């Protein structure tokens, strides 16, 4: 089955990537996965030919074979062995309506205000979704260095709930890791209008400690020719 998709995350996953999209025809989220043990996508599988890596807001065409849900990630679809195609970069402004339909109005992310979900709980109750489109408030980004490792986190509010989540959007991570360790407002790193900034949040697969962590897989600045989503 060929699907036209709006790419909203091409996120770091182990040493490869995880690509999350909204279907352009409106039914909802798709996480594209391979047949590898953890579903990660290598460059040969995800590249767009001369257009390179899928970027946020790309309109792409991908052939999928069948749903491949796993506990905690019901949106997974197995990709076919067919090159992906870039249709437009960025997607036309008409697709703003698709994002608006899926903008999360809840103050909870995947049913809770915590930064993680115990994977054992999936045996009793599977999450309805593991991908969400968020509009952050009171946002700052943190670049911290722990020993030899650098990491980027987003600190923000949804309603009365405060979140501190890891960012796994490679271009955004790289840009912030090139700066000194510290806390950065969106304005200080070139985000001119926070009202046009969205997050694609993803629930990661279970970690070694038995938890699935909530991640910011895509830091999304709306294309210039798009109206604000909310």
Q: Which pLDDT tens digit goes with each residue over 47-57? A: 999 999 999 99
Q: Which domain holds residue 150?
A: 102-221
Q: Please identify, among 60, 95, 130, the residue that sits at the C-terminal boundary of a domain.
A: 95
Q: Which pLDDT tens digit goes with each residue over 22-60? A: 999 999 999 999 999 999 999 999 999 999 999 999 999
- Specify whether 107 is located in the same domain as 213: yes
How many domains is the chain built from?
2
Q: Which pLDDT tens digit goes with each residue over 154-195? A: 999 999 999 999 999 999 999 999 999 999 999 999 888 899
- Contacts of the segment 148-151: beta carbons below 8 A, 24+ positions apart: 150/177, 150/181
Q: Please identify, among 74, 95, 116, the residue that sits at the C-terminal boundary of a domain.
A: 95
Q: How many CB atoms sit inside 10 A of residue 38's CB?
A: 12
**139 located within any domain:** yes
CA 189, 18, 164, 74 torsion-angle sign = positive
C-beta of residue 79 within 8 angstroms of C-beta of residue 21? no
What is the predicted pLDDT for the residue at 192?
82
What is the predicted pLDDT for the residue at 230?
76
Q: Please identify, among 95, 123, 145, the residue that sits at the C-terminal boundary of a domain.
A: 95
Stated as kind and residue range, the H or E segment containing 172 is helix 170-177
Q: Which pLDDT tens digit goes with each residue over 113-163? A: 999 999 999 888 878 899 999 999 999 999 999 988 999 999 999 999 999
- Specify whether 87 is located in the same domain as 115: no
First to last CA, the chain: 32
What is the predicted pLDDT for the residue at 127?
83
Tokens of 139: 């946002």
């Amino acid at each position: 089955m060929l699907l036209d998709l709006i790419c909203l995350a091409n996120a770091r996953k182990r040493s490869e990537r995880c690509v999350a999209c909204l279907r352009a025809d409106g039914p909802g989220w798709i996480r594209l996965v391979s047949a590898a043990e953890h579903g990660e996508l290598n460059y040969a599988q995800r590249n767009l030919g001369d257009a390179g890596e899928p970027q946020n807001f790309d309109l792409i065409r991908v052939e999928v074979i069948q749903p491949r849900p796993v506990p905690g990630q019901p949106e997974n679809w197995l990709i076919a062995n067919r090159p992906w195609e870039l249709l437009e970069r960025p997607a036309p402004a008409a697709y703003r309506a698709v994002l608006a339909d899926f903008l999360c109005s809840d103050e909870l992310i995947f049913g809770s205000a915590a930064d993680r979900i115990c994977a054992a709980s999936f045996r009793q109750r599977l999450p309805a979704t593991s991908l969400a489109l968020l509009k952050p408030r009171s946002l700052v980004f943190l670049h911290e260095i722990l020993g030899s490792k650098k990491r980027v986190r987003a600190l923000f509010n949804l309603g009365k709930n405060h979140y501190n989540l890891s960012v796994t959007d490679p271009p955004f991570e790289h840009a912030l890791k090139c700066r000194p360790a510290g806390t950065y407002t969106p304005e200080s790193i070139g985000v001119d209008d926070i009202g046009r900034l969205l997050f694609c949040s993803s629930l990661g697969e279970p970690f070694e400690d038995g938890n699935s962590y909530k991640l910011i897989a895509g830091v999304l600045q709306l294309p210039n020719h798009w109206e604000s989503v909310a």
